[in-house]
Homo-oligomer: A and B are copies of this chain.
Amino acid sequence: MPISEQAPPDAPERPLRRDAAQNRERLLRAAFDLFAEHGAEVGVNDIARRAGVGPGTLYRRFPTKEALIDALYEIVFDELLETVRQALASDEPGEALELCLRRNGEIMASHRGCLARLWTAQRATSDRVPQWWAMVEQMLDRAQSAGRVRADVTVQDVRGCLMSLRCIIEETIMDSPELWRRHLELLLAGLRPNPA
């Protein structure tokens, strides 16, 4: 029976104090680094120590370890979303899908080590997900209209491509940092219409 910690629900979401915001950044950075270095089994105390704060501070910023991981997920997801947004705004609509997949690969490669932990089914409940689907669908439509992608490719197929992209990056980037780029090219070739 914990005593309600929350502010009333219509709280104006006031900004963090500067030092608090700094610690939040440090914690996220430390979590990214440690997950990348040691995988998903990193403990909260290690994250806090790397960030230079006590464990209590971590729990002031993130109510549970899961919430911290959710925040990492949101950060990566936001980067991906931004990429999609830029790709959609570009001048060559037919290229947008391929461009976007390549850039998403780069982003994921820059966050190696913590993707596997981030991308679980139950975390895909962020309110950004519908946005993402809508934009991917738009990109796909344009690419198909421009004859750059097979007509039978669906949004689900694109989702599958992103998943396998993440996985292969995660698996191979340490040993063969270029392998995922090659794999993506094969996949993109599979998406293109057969010119025959």
Q: Which residues of A contact B (CB under 8 A)?
A: 1, 3, 34, 38, 42-43, 46, 116, 119, 121, 153, 156-157, 160-161, 163-168, 170-172, 174-176, 179-180, 182-183, 186-191, 194-196
Instruction: For residue A95, give the distance in angstroms from its CB to the closest CB of chain B.
Output: 18
User: Would you call A3 and B180 a contact (CB within 8 A)?
Assistant: no
Instruction: For residue A45, give the distance in angstroms from its CB to the closest CB of chain B.
Output: 9
What CA separation (Å) do A190 and B194 show in the bound complex? 10
One complex includes copies of this chain to the number of 4
Can you pick out 17 interface pairs between chain A and chain B where the beta carbons lie within 8 Å of each other?
Answer: A3-B34, A3-B38, A3-B43, A116-B116, A121-B174, A156-B176, A157-B182, A157-B183, A161-B183, A163-B172, A164-B183, A186-B190, A187-B187, A189-B194, A190-B191, A195-B195, A196-B196
What CA separation (Å) do A23 and B35 show in the bound complex? 34
User: Would you call A160 and B182 a contact (CB within 8 A)?
Assistant: yes
- Of the candidates B1, B42, B167, B190, which one forms a contact with A168 in the assembled complex, judged by CB atoms under 8 Å apart? B167
Instruction: For residue A14, give the distance in angstroms from its CB to the closest CB of chain B.
Output: 15
- Of the candidates B168, B174, B175, B195, which one forms a contact with A164 in the assembled complex, judged by CB atoms under 8 Å apart? B168
